[in-house]
């Protein structure tokens, strides 16, 4: 699962999963290595499996945890705090603090609850009016957010073991896959087609994988040959077109030059015979040129 999500050659799978979870289109710009934001080898506090930079300068922490840990909530809080500090230089304005999404995919029973997907975020609610505090109009314009909580980290907990294997929506399809490493034939969630392709390859035998790899190599070679052939044909056609265009241009230039000679000679009082001997044009064509220029 980690290898599937962190595949840097193609972000389609990870983008699909994040888009379904966050309920908006996510474009992945880069993926950091495991624990890539540690400052020292001995610093084990921030055990991040993937640190994703999304379009819009948002940061997404994705972690898969198989074994129970009593301090796990403190751990994800510490991890988010470290990522915020690691991406804010000394002396930099606080407004440059990045929006963080922390996504924990856990295979143990974390906390006490009957759901399998939980969303945690920060609200500022009036103690007396119970209304939510909003950013000022100027702040809303600057940060493109409405509530202060929109600037704060958000947390998603996916408790895989609590899922009942009944996929009612596209997010459930992803949770089903996270739990069972299988994809239903009717699954349509974003990124599922690519995940299905990768999963099918993983289920091949070593001999079948070798045959598949050779077939893909041959396919790439054939596509390269086709592209090369098409490029050569395009270059040849372009060259021929340029040559044809140059020829047409030269011929047009010669015609215009002869027309100018005809007009100037006629204005100088030269006879048709003399103009014809100079330009090589017959009398009828000289007449047409003079008529076209209203000089006859």
**CA 125 – CA 129 distance, rounded (Å):** 8
3-state secondary structure of 165: coil
Give me 239's structure tokens.
């060259």
Q: What tens digit of pLDDT does each residue of 123-167 get?
A: 999 999 999 999 999 999 999 899 999 999 999 999 999 999 999
pLDDT of residue 189: 95
pLDDT in the model for residue 274:
75
Query: Which residues, 6+ apart, have CB-to-CB distance to 278 below 8 Å?
Result: 261, 265, 270
Question: What's the whole-model pTM score?
Answer: 0.65
| Token pair for 27 | 């474009």
From residue 53, alpha-carbon distances to 87, 182, 210 in Å are: 11, 27, 34
Q: Spell out the domain ranges in the chain.
A: 2-203, 215-292
Structure tokens at 90: 């000394």
Given a contact cutoff of 8 angstroms between Cβ atoms, the answer to whether 79 and 100 are in contact is no
Residue 101: which pLDDT band, with cuts at 50, 70 and 90?
A: very high
Asked if 189 and 16 count as a contact pair (C-beta separation under 8 A), the reply is: yes
Question: What does the pLDDT look like over 23-78, one tens digit per residue?
Answer: 999 888 888 754 444 444 434 444 457 888 887 678 999 988 888 888 899 999 99
pLDDT surpassing 90 at residue 92: no
Q: How far is CA 111 from the centre of its chain?
A: 36
3-state DSSP assignment of residue 162: helix
């Amino acid at each position: 699962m980690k290898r599937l999500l962190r595949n840097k050659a193609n972000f389609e799978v990870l983008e699909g999963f994040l888009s379904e979870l966050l309920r908006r289109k996510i474009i992945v710009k880069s993926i950091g290595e495991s624990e890539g934001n540690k400052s020292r080898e001995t610093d084990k506090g921030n055990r991040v499996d993937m640190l994703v930079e999304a379009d819009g300068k948002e940061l997404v922490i994705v972690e898969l945890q198989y074994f129970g840990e009593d301090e796990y909530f403190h751990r994800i809080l510490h991890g988010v705090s470290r990522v915020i500090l690691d991406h804010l230089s000394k002396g930099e304005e606080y407004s440059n603090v990045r929006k963080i999404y922390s996504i924990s995919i856990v295979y143990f029973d974390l906390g006490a609850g009957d759901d399998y997907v939980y969303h945690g975020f920060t609200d500022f609610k009036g103690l007396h009016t119970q209304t939510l505090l909003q950013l000022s109009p100027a702040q809303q314009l600057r940060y493109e957010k409405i509530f202060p909580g929109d600037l704060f980290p958000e947390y998603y907990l996916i408790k895989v073991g609590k899922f009942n294997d009944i996929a009612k929506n596209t997010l459930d399809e992803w949770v089903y896959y996270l739990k069972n490493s299988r994809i239903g034939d009717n699954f349509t969630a974003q990124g599922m087609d690519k995940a299905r392709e990768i999963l099918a390859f993983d289920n091949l035998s070593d001999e079948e994988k070798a045959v598949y790899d050779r077939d893909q190599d041959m396919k790439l070679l054939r596509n390269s040959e086709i592209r090369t052939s098409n490029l050569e044909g395009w270059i040849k056609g372009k060259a021929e077109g340029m040559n044809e265009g140059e020829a047409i241009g030269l011929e047009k230039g010669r015609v215009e030059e002869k027309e100018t000679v005809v007009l100037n000679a006629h204005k100088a009082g030269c006879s048709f015979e003399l103009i014809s001997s100079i330009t090589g044009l017959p009398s009828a064509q000289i007449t047409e040129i003079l008529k076209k220029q209203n000089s006859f």
